[in-house]
Amino acid sequence: MNFVLTKNPNYKNVFNLNCRQFYDFYFFHDAQWTLTKDMAHKGLSNNFCEIKFSKDNISLNHNGQRDFPLWYDHSTCSNIVKLENYLPADAKINYDNGWHVTYNKDLVATDDYILTDVAAKEFIRSVLIDNVTKFVETNSLPLMMPNSNGLDIMLTRSIFDYLKIEYNLFDIEPRHNALQKYLYEKYYGFIQIQQFSEPTCLISGFYGDEYLLRSPSQTQMLIEKDIVELFDSTPKSYMKYFFNKIYREKCKKIKKTTKQKVKELIYNDVQVWHVDNTFVFTPFKDTRLLKLLNCDENMIIEQTIHGKLSKDLINFFNPALIGKIDTEKNVVQPKWFPL
């Protein structure tokens, strides 16, 4: 789902993308787009891009919370090439004798109620079941799931098991073309997006940290306590190794802010999207889950440090997976991973 849409006939096609001309625009794109006389479409039911062309107008449509970045300048719009203007995830762009940007004003508003442990787990279960169920109702692609024991992918796997949805496990290999190598230099998650020879849906755990309260930096924005001190006072936990490696110094500089600010940061976080034959599904990227920011502070801390909510959910969906979860995040990885 990668493209460059430009009026520039001399655009340098450095990634060797396919090209189709629609009226005055050149549409450079990766594989697996469906093209008609006046439309280009790619994606899944909950994660797609559709571009409609006419002589004077272009309508660029996508799911409400866009899953890919967008840049534009006077002649070009792209989700690959960084241009003069960047659009946040709630922005939509169309062309009518120039680019015109509008914004989605329905971002989840802040409220003050406290979500209890029981209510939080019931709420998360309902959202995740709903997302997976709706996805499989329209999906026709083979499902592949990484043979990994990380907490987010194990939770994803447990939901599919609970719903008795078949999938295949695979070991991630470093199969990346030039476009993907470029993407994972900008968006680290693409290191985990393996290229398949045929159209395939990769079932992932992306966005689990952000939408399920496991990001230490987000937690520090929400609580008065010092997250560094909390980790230091915990001898061992699922997140401790990764926290010390990635988050410790960052969290020392973070101050508490408003829930609304944290919601906006999560909403605008873009990690991965479809590329060539590989389509990506995650059950976690859902604005409904932003309500979890209203969880009790101690619950948020337990989830951030130990992944307690996630483990309780796995125990509900498929308790047989509990004993297979890695004891620490990102300690066990393919040797070729850079992190």
Q: What is the pLDDT of residues 277-326, one digit of tens each?
A: 999 999 999 999 999 999 999 999 999 999 999 999 999 999 999 999 99
Residues 39 and 97 in one domain: yes
Residues 156 and 34 in one domain: no
Residues 31 and 84 in one domain: yes
335 pLDDT exceeds 80?
Answer: no
Output the pLDDT for position 109. 59
- Please state whether 98 falls in left (phi above 0), alpha (psi between -120 and 50) or beta: left
Q: Tens digit of pLDDT for each residue in 156-186? A: 999 999 999 999 999 988 877 889 889 988 9
Residues 199 and 280 in one domain: yes
Tell me which residue range forms the domain holding 180: 117-324
Question: What is the total count of domains within the chain?
Answer: 2
Q: Tens digit of pLDDT for each residue in 69-128? A: 999 999 999 999 999 999 999 899 999 999 999 998 766 555 677 889 999 999 999 999
Which residue, of 103, 137, 166, is where some domain finishes? 103
Residues 259 and 129 in one domain: yes
Which residue, of 103, 129, 163, is where some domain finishes? 103
Residues 186 and 287 in one domain: yes
Asked if 212 contacts 124 with a C-beta cutoff of 8 angstroms, the reply is yes
Output the pLDDT for position 339. 59
Residues 173 and 290 in one domain: yes
Q: What is the mean pLDDT of residues 23-36?
A: 97
| Strand runs labelled E in the chain | 3-6, 18-22, 25-29, 34-35, 39-44, 47-53, 57-62, 70-72, 76-78, 85-87, 91-96, 99-103, 143-146, 168-170, 200-203, 278-281
Q: What is the mean pLDDT of residues 16-22?
A: 96
Q: Higher confidence at residue 192 or residue 145?
A: 145
> Is residue 331 one of the residues assigned to a domain?
no
Residues 29 and 174 in one domain: no
Q: Which residues pair with 41 in a beta bridge?
A: 34, 50
Q: How confident is the model at residue 188 (pLDDT cuts 50, 70, 90)?
A: confident
Which residue, of 103, 131, 158, is where some domain finishes? 103
Q: What is the mean pLDDT of residues 57-67?
A: 93
- The alpha carbon of 209 is separated from its chain's Cα centroid by a whole number of angstroms, namely 10
Q: How many residues does the chain have?
A: 339
Output the pLDDT for position 176. 78
Local structure of 209: helix, strand or coil: helix
Residues 196 and 98 in one domain: no
